[in-house]
Amino acid sequence: MTTIAEMPAGFADKVLSAQSTFRSVMDAMARPGSVQRIEAASGVPAPLMRGSAAIALTLFDQDTPVWLDAKMAATLDVAKWIKFHTSAPVIADSSVCSFALIGDIDQLPALQRFAIGSNDYPDRSTTLIVQVPSLTQGPAIELRGPGIDGTAVLRTQMAPDLLERLAVNHALFPRGIDLVLVADDAIVAIPRTTRFVAKEG
């Protein structure tokens, strides 16, 4: 096990890596369903994927409380790594977090446990960073909405009830949460504007 003192700095060049990671996340958010690659961070404690770590290094800081799901919080390593590298407070109350790190998508808490913003300030909402095994394998889900030219197809393992919950999230617009799915160094974003249709087979 690595101790904090031995932790390598996540990015080799912090400034340029943060920029390139941000552009991947921005492109992902602007084009839901598109798979973007991100410049992966190194020295990342399990079960944090290197893509999730890169997003943390890019977007987290002392102004963004972070919530961890049970899998991420199973050891103290992830919380320690986040505090050390990003200065973000790791908090227990998911309803006021800026970001939530989800290690187990099958145990995703009810979405109303996160911040969904208000109609006056819909931006005061949680962005969920959700780790999944793959963004190229799995049942096809058709996506529509802003950022998508007609339709896009997402392939991933997602429980059917999660699609229903995301449909509720979409209906809350302009309130709602936004998702960034991560598989290793690949990401797909699903903002609150995206609608889903599960496809056969």
> DSSP secondary structure string, 121-156?
-TTSBPEEEEE-S-SSSS-EEEEESTT-SS-EEEE-
Rule CB under 8 A: say whether 18 interacts with other proteins.
yes
Q: How many CB atoms lie within 10 A of CB 62?
A: 10
Rule CB under 8 A: say whether 64 interacts with other proteins.
yes
Rule CB under 8 A: say whether 83 interacts with other proteins.
no
Rule CB under 8 A: say whether 51 interacts with other proteins.
no
Residues 6+ apart with CB under 8 A from 157: 105, 132, 133, 134, 137, 138, 139
Pairing of strands 140-144, 195-198: antiparallel
Query: Which residues share a beta bridge with 180?
Result: 129, 189
Q: Return the structure tokens found at 137.
A: 């394998």
Q: Between residues 25 and 105, which has the closer beta carbon with respect to other proteins?
A: 25
Quick one: which segment of 41-49, 72-80, 115-123, 153-161 binds other proteins (CB under 8 A)?
115-123
Residue selected from 14, 46, 75, 159 as contacting other proteins according to rule CB under 8 A = 14
Q: Between residues 149 and 200, which has the closer beta carbon with respect to other proteins?
A: 149
Rule CB under 8 A: say whether 58 interacts with other proteins.
yes
Q: Between residues 77 and 82, which has the closer beta carbon with respect to other proteins?
A: 82
Distances (CA, A) of 151 to 142, 145, 200: 7, 8, 15
Residues that bind other proteins (CB under 8 A): 14-16, 18-20, 22-23, 25-27, 29-31, 58-61, 63-64, 98, 118-120, 122-123, 125, 127, 146-150, 173-174, 178, 191-193
